[in-house]
Structure 1
Amino acid sequence: MSTTISQAESARIESAIQAAVSGSWEEFAKLTDEPFPNDASMKEQFEDSYPRLKQARGNWQMTSDIGIVPEDGTRVITVILKAPPNVDIVLTLHSTSDRDDSAISIWTFFQQLNLDD
């Protein structure tokens, strides 16, 4: 099992970021292959986070990490967009595999304070 982001996962991450930058909840919501556990909560996370990304105008540093779930080999992908001065946007996805036909679901999209800057 690969611990690098696949092409399908990378494309989904990029699409989620672009939907957020454009402020389109409808486009963002279409990008999850499994329904959100709580639509209202996810929409609230989106509405809180997308203005920050829009304001950053692409001026962010993106890092990512992949954790493999031992029980089933699925992948939890955490993407952090460091958007100065001190707020990071965290996007968490779940992917069934590193193959192109993987089911990819969005789990979280929230802001976190970064006091390291």
Structure 2
Amino acid sequence: MSETISQAESARIESAIRAAVSGSWEEFAKLTDEPFPNDASMREQFEDSSPRLQQAGGNWEMTSGIGIVPDDGTRMITVMIKAPPAVDIVLTLHSTSDRDDSTISVWTFLQQLNWDD
């Protein structure tokens, strides 16, 4: 059975991207239900990734995948935002379930070089 992203998870992904495009760290920081493990590191990731998405101006492709953690059934959601020409952004979320009341936490928002070009 293939897992799909829930409405709550999808809304959180869209909100994170909107916050990055607007450059609002304050809005982005509100999107995690659990505190960031390291605020300074997450802010650095945001400040690096946000301008890349702004430069791409909506010209990106998004793909996503979900992994189920065997120990507790929680969900690891990885979203790849391919923002040409040379950088992709990886947004990783952790979700307690696919229900609307799940706890959704932002784990990473970092750049990855695109070696395909």
Question: Which TM-score tier does this pair reach, normalised by the shorter chain?
Answer: over 0.9
Gaps of 5+ in 1: none
* C-alpha distance in 2 between matches for 1:46 and 1:2: 30
* C-alpha distance in 2 between matches for 1:2 and 1:12: 20
* C-alpha distance in 2 between matches for 1:59 and 1:107: 24
* C-alpha distance in 2 between matches for 1:2 and 1:72: 18
* C-alpha distance in 1 between matches for 2:49 and 2:84: 14
Gaps of 5+ in 2: none
Which residue number in structure 2 is paired with residue 114 of structure 1? Answer: 114
Identity rate of aligned residues, in percent?
A: 85
SS of 1:37 mapped into structure 2:
coil
Which residue number in structure 2 is paired with residue 61 of structure 1? Answer: 61
TM-score (norm 1): 0.98
* C-alpha distance in 2 between matches for 1:12 and 1:49: 17
SS of 2:89 mapped into structure 1:
strand
Which residue number in structure 1 is paired with residue 52 of structure 2? Answer: 52
CA-CA distance at 1:86 after TM superposition:
1.5
Which residue number in structure 2 is paired with residue 34 of structure 1? Answer: 34
| Equivalent residues, number | 117
2:21 pairs with 1:9: no
CA-CA distance at 1:74 after TM superposition:
0.1
TM-score (norm 2): 0.98
